[in-house]
Amino acid sequence: MPETTRQSAPESVPDRSADVRVALPLTGMTCAACARRIERKLAHAPGVKEVHVNFATERATVEYDPRQTDVRALIKTVEAVGYGVREVPGEDAGGTVDDKQAASERAEVRELWRRFIVAALLSAPVLLIAMSHGRIALFNVRWINWAQLALTLPVIFYSGWPFYRGAWAALRHRAADMNTLIAVGTGAAFLYSLVATVAPQLVTTATHATMPGMEGETLAPVYYEAASVIIALILLGRLLEARARGKTSEAIKRLLGLQPRNARVVREGREVDVPIAEVIVGDVVVVRPGEKIPVDGVVLEGASAVNESMLTGESMPVEKRAGDEVIGATINETGSFKFSATKVGRDTVLQQIVRLVEEAQGQRAPIARLADVISGYFTPVVICIAIATFVVWFIAAPVELRLTYALVNFVSVLIIACPCALGLATPTAVMVGTGRGAELGVLIKGGAALETAHKLQTIVLDKTGTITKGEPAVTDVLAADGFQEIELLRLAATAERGSEHPLGAAIVRRAHEQSLALADATRFNALAGHGVEAEIEGRKLLLGNLRLMDERKVELNGLGARAAQLASEGKTPMFVAVDGTGAGLIAVADEVKPDAAAAVSTLKRLGLEVLMITGDNEQTARAVAREVGIERVLAQVLPADKAAEVKRLQAEGKLVAMVGDGINDAPALAQADIGIALGTGTDVAIEAADITLIRGSLNGVVTAIKLSRRTIQIIKQNLFWAFIYNALGIPIAAGVLYPVTGWLLSPVIASAAMALSSVSVVTNSLRLRRFNTERKA
């Protein structure tokens, strides 16, 4: 029997030669001969390079050429020999596996419902009997305890069974959890009642059995309702909690749901639909209007507007043309285009986001540390308190009532205690908060990052690419007398055509935007560090800085003063001279992002000090800072020194966030208390960052800060509620108020309170789902 290497999950891994390997889980094999039969058949199928069928693991590992065949054809081949394939393999986070998971979760909830309905129906009459206290004549019969027993048995052994099973499993591991408390509490009430029913003389005293019309009968008090109603109520609580907790991970499910299942790729010159798992890097993918973009890539031809809001939070469609990056799972709106796949499978932005969020949701926030320590000791300690309660009541209560009081309060203490509320307080809020962040294009690395972010005092913004767009653009074209602006731009662009210099490229881009027809330049000459000269249509053109103009003794016609003015605004002016005379100025600047000023002013309103850091000279830096409303500027800082500047700010005793790109600013991001990286294209898993903004907008910083503050606020509410609930509930259930007010808590009320407490914590966390930036944090 041929052996395959170990495969932990269905997977498909494209290898170097573009062949694809896939593991198919097989069904219907009864012997090694079956395996050989499938193997032979698959080996002869077109496009299949190599096959191993392992009978023991029921798996076929097939290496095939995706241009000749696909998974569906392979499955058909297997089915043709009379066997089956369990599921179409996909990414582990992809569709099929997840659907199965969801189905099994739904089945669990249905099961929980059935158990609850049985418990509710059977415990209602038990509760009625218990509360009648002999006032309802119908119940004053000798066999009433037996009737209650009959009604309670199914509740214990069917509805409540998972609690007992769970408690036993935990007990064997020397652990105690929720199930332990419920099992011990209801178990004690049930066992006592069972004894009181079967052998009443063991628990009863002479004062009992004096119900009207039943004098002389021995009928001990029973507490079946404490067992059955508690189970019904706790099951109800579990149902509500399950529903609420399902919603805490909704964001991830929604993200995963964005993944399209198929892609249309060009293979051998034809467009074919293939499952998304079969798309490999380098595939040419075709996308039509209204379709989802299947994987990440770079546009080859065509143009369109793409709705990226589901991943970036940006509501406006983004224009895409050849050379632009497209992100898988976003929706193509207007045009058709072809793109080359650059990232597939686990490497796509969507999968990176899902992974980041999942990882973040497992990171524990330091704020939960106390709750974590407490919940580690909680259950055993509560059991001890309950035992002590029993002992104290047994000794302190009057002899004829001591067993009753001791038992009832013992059960109440066990049942009211709710470690789950403590345990759920932080993780659910972190889960909903980070999930909501992902929906808004803000990826937070975990609870600790959230917690630090809400305490930030100073935000350092990198200039280039963070406050500004990061690429120079023409801002002003000024023509001297006798020249026209359009003509000036056309000439300058002609001279700079093919220029590698960013300033030149900006001029050429502007000319293209204005659809100017460029002429042909002759005698082109680049003057390093100064500018260019060229001859165009018989005219001598000189383009460059003031020094170049001075050297060539160009008559500037008053352009010098205008240039100085532009420079003070943070722009870079370039002189244009035609035939030795100053013809005009073209100013280029790295433009400020349109929403930067608003974001800075919001950050200030949130009480944060905002700084700008840049390698630019003081003048340029000041101009940009003024435009967006930043007062404190750290100019002429070399990239390598940015981290040191952040450190200096931290030495002032401040909690500092650094906002920059993930590559050049990585050391500064890592040094800062919170590093916020602006997403660069399709790479969102930025190592040095605590928070990654998928969209390059500064509003993401505002969102991150507000979301962190809101999440921590919710966590504090949850923790406060959970602590107070247990700190008050347990003593009251133990009966400390009895000597003063005469209050005792019935176990039934205790169970209702318990069920509500964890539901309320989760529900409070779910309020974060409605978080949006507009609200005050």
Contact positions vs another protein (CB under 8 A): 8, 101, 104, 108, 111, 162, 165-179, 238, 242, 245, 358-359, 361-364, 372, 375-380, 383-384, 387-388, 390-391, 394-395, 399, 402, 406, 419-420, 422-424, 427, 446
Side-chain-side CA neighbours of residue 645 (13 Å): 26
3-state class of 771 per DSSP? Answer: coil
Select 78 or 406, whichever has its Cβ closest to another protein: 406
C-alpha triplet 200, 206, 212: angle, nearest 5°: 85
> Do residues 451 and 366 touch, judged by C-beta distance below 8 A?
yes
Long-range contacts of 48-55 (CB under 8 A, 24+ apart): 48/74, 49/19, 52/2, 52/3, 52/4, 53/2, 53/4, 53/26, 54/1, 54/2, 54/3, 54/4, 55/1, 55/29, 55/31
Cα 503 to Cα 487, 498, 518, 567, 722: the distances in Å are 18, 12, 17, 15, 61
Q: Identify whether the C-beta of residue 219 lies closer than 8 Å to the C-beta of residue 145.
A: yes
Structure tokens at 243: 């529903």
Q: Which CB, 331 or 420, lies closer to another protein?
A: 420
Tokens encoding 403: 């067993």
By the 8 A CB rule, do 692 and 731 touch? no
Gap between the Cα atoms of 223 and 193, Å rounded: 6
Angle, helices 144-154 vs 224-248, to 10°: value is 20
Shortest Cβ 166–another protein spacing (Å): 4
* CA–CA distance, 607 with 604 (Å, rounded to integer): 5
Nearer to another protein, 201 or 741 (CB): 201
Nearer to another protein, 507 or 762 (CB): 762
* Nearest C-alpha neighbor of 329 from the set 313, 315, 303, 309: 309
Give the three-class secondary structure for 761.
helix
By C-beta, is 341 or 733 nearer to another protein?
A: 733
Alpha carbon of 650 to those of 85, 128, 314, 459, 643: distances in Å? 59, 66, 33, 11, 11
**Closest approach of Cβ 370 to another protein, in Å?**
11
CB of 169 to another protein, least distance (A): 3
In this structure, the dihedral spanned by the alpha carbons of residues 177, 181, 183 and 188, taken in order and rounded to 10 degrees, is 150
Q: Please state the closest distance from residue 423 (CB atom) to another protein, in A.
A: 3
Secondary structure (DSSP) of 460-500: EEEIIIIIEEEEEEEEEEEEPTT--HHHHHHHHHHHHTT--
Q: Does residue 616 contact residue 470 with C-beta atoms inside 8 Å? A: no
Residue 375 CB, nearest distance to another protein (Å)? Answer: 5
| SS3 assignment, position 342 | strand
CB nearer to another protein: give 257 or 580: 257
Task: Compare residues 89 and 446 and give the one whose CB is closer to another protein.
Answer: 446
Nearer to another protein among residue 253 and residue 540 (C-beta): 253
Residue 36 beta carbon to another protein: minimum distance, rounded to whole angstroms: 26
Shortest separation between residue 594's beta carbon and another protein, angstroms: 37
Given 19, 177, 462, 673, the catalytic residue? 462
Q: Least distance in Å: CB of 377 to another protein?
A: 8
Q: Tell me whether residue 238 or residue 571 sits nearer to another protein (CB atom).
A: 238
Residue 657, beta-bridge partner list: 459, 674
Name the residue nearer to another protein (CB basis): 129 or 407.
407
Question: Whole-angstrom Cα distance, residue 572 to residue 128?
Answer: 87
What does the alpha-carbon distance between residue 338 and residue 188 come to, in Å, rounded to a whole number? Answer: 70
What is the smallest separation between the CB atom of 31 and another protein, expressed in angstroms? Answer: 26
In the complex, least distance from residue 105 CB atom to another protein, rounded to whole angstroms? 9
The phi, psi pair for 513, rounded to 5°, reads -60, -35
How many CB atoms sit inside 10 A of residue 759's CB?
Answer: 23
Q: CA-to-CA distance for 71 and 75, rounded, in angstroms?
A: 6
Angle at 557 between CA 552 and CA 559, to 5 degrees: 85
Residue nearer to another protein on the CB measure, 441 or 447: 447
462 is catalytic: yes
Three-state DSSP state, 261: coil
Q: Is 651 exposed, middle or buried (0-12, 13-18, 19+ CB in 10 A)?
A: exposed
H or E segment and range at residue 412: helix 402-416
Which positions are catalytic?
462
